[in-house]
Amino acid sequence: MKGIKKFYLITFILIIMLLAACSSEEAEGEDSGEVEERDYPSTVTIGTASQGGTYYIWGGGLATLLEQNLDITSNVEVTGGPVHNIQLLDVDDIQLGMVTMGPLYEGYYGEGEWASKEFSDIRVIFPMYNTPFQWWSTASSGVTSITEHEGERVGIGPAGGTPGTYNPLIYEALGIETGDQVAAGASDMASQMLDGQLDHIGFSAGLPIAAVTEVETQADINIYGIDGEEREKVMEALPYFTEFVIPGDTYESLDGDVETIAQFNFGVVQKEANEEFVYDLVKAYHENIDQMISTHASAQESEDPAAILENKEYPLHPGAIRYYEEIGIDLPDAVYPPEWEQNN
């Protein structure tokens, strides 16, 4: 009898020890999970541009994408646009931004007048669309060309945004001396035009631009781009521009296609962004691109993930590289950042 009691006692002690060991392992696993959760953000702030522009609409679409696919809540922040987004990323005021090729070039190499340094920690993660430049004037002004802006008061877009940064440079490249240049968001400029305070506006965003649609439903306007000798001059002075055609069915006010210039757009983060988060975001973005297209038609330009090859020189984030390599895209050597080389 004593032997049986001793056997049960030893068995009971062993069971207690085994349960304690299992609990310890589970706790360690939970601790590891907590560390991973801290690295993988539960919320992000998305840097867009002015209300009425395409970036702002895209911001809402990306926020929905993050919430539905990654269970991440987002704040969509109105900003000055690409230049401002690069600056905000650098100080971690936003964690996901949108930029056009021009500001990306100037920021990365520290060559823009606005660039206080080289923003070399920025990393591209997904392609977006082309941003064509277009101008519109009240029909009553009779203006149908940017060359007629000489001495005129013109709206150029928000300071720090793509149009606000490059419209003045376009005028400079063409030797056009305008009158007052109004730096404001698309919606604000549209309101000023409808109030009779502004006859000419220059803006750039994915097509169609909501502000243009808003104005043309309430007033007669002339919409135009830039082509021929003027376009060649601009592209020679500002080499990050490419030729672009705005389809004639984009706006009711158009009678046919419009020749102009454009810059491509990309989603960007800082190099310190969590690799798993970036990988999952890029994967969710491309696998649910229909969702982004329903948000704004411009996303059709990235329906094929190979659109990432529009970027041939700026470093991609390692999380993005993992995804594009997995689906078989042959990336240029130049887009592999130093941290990729160090860890692979």
The residues facing 76 across adjacent strands are 46
pLDDT surpasses 90 at 287: yes
Q: What's residue 160's pLDDT? A: 73
The whole-chain average pLDDT of the chain stands at 89
Residue matched to tokens 């419009």: 258
Q: What's residue 28's pLDDT? A: 45
Q: CA–CA separation, 277 vs 42, rounded Å?
A: 10
CATH 3.40.190.10, applies to 42-130+264-343: yes
pLDDT surpasses 70 at 162: yes
Q: CA–CA separation, 308 vs 1, rounded Å?
A: 78
- pLDDT band (50, 70, 90) for residue 279: very high
**Contact in structure between 130 and 265 (CB atoms under 8 Å):** yes
- pLDDT band (50, 70, 90) for residue 113: confident
Beta 122-138 vs 221-224: how paired, if at all? Answer: antiparallel
Where do the domains of the chain lie?
Answer: 42-130+264-343, 132-263
Do the two domains 42-130+264-343 and 132-263 of this chain adopt the same fold?
Answer: yes
* Of the ranges 2-16, 140-154, 195-209, the best mean pLDDT one: 140-154
Q: pLDDT tens, 11-50?
A: 555 555 555 555 444 444 444 444 344 478 999 999 998 8
Q: What's residue 50's pLDDT? A: 81
pLDDT surpasses 80 at 251: yes
Q: What's residue 37's pLDDT? A: 46
Q: What is the DSSP letter of 315?
A: P
CA angle in degrees (0–180, nearest 5) for 187-122-165: 35
pLDDT surpasses 60 at 9: no
pLDDT surpasses 70 at 317: yes
Q: What's residue 39's pLDDT? A: 73
Q: What's residue 35's pLDDT? A: 36
Q: What's residue 114's pLDDT? A: 87
Mean pLDDT over 267-283 rounds to 97
Mark out the alpha helices in 150-216 (DSSP H runs): 162-174, 186-194, 210-216
Q: CA–CA separation, 337 vs 303, rounded Å?
A: 25
Give the lowest-confidence range in 88-97, 108-117, 211-220.
Answer: 108-117
- pLDDT band (50, 70, 90) for residue 112: confident
pLDDT surpasses 90 at 278: yes
Higher pLDDT, 20 or 317: 317
pLDDT surpasses 60 at 8: no
Q: CA–CA separation, 103 vs 89, rounded Å?
A: 13
Q: What's residue 15's pLDDT? A: 52
The CATH code that applies to domain 132-263 is 3.40.190.10
φ, ψ at 106 (rounded to 5°): -65, -40
Higher pLDDT, 21 or 315: 315
pLDDT surpasses 70 at 81: yes
Q: What percent of the chain has pLDDT over 70?
A: 89
pTM > 0.85: no
pLDDT surpasses 50 at 193: yes
pLDDT surpasses 70 at 207: yes
Mean pLDDT over 227-243 rounds to 94
Q: What's residue 1's pLDDT? A: 52
Mean pLDDT over 46-70 rounds to 92
pLDDT surpasses 50 at 177: yes
Mean pLDDT over 288-305 rounds to 96
Residue 212: half-sphere exposure toward Cβ, Cα within 13 Å: 26
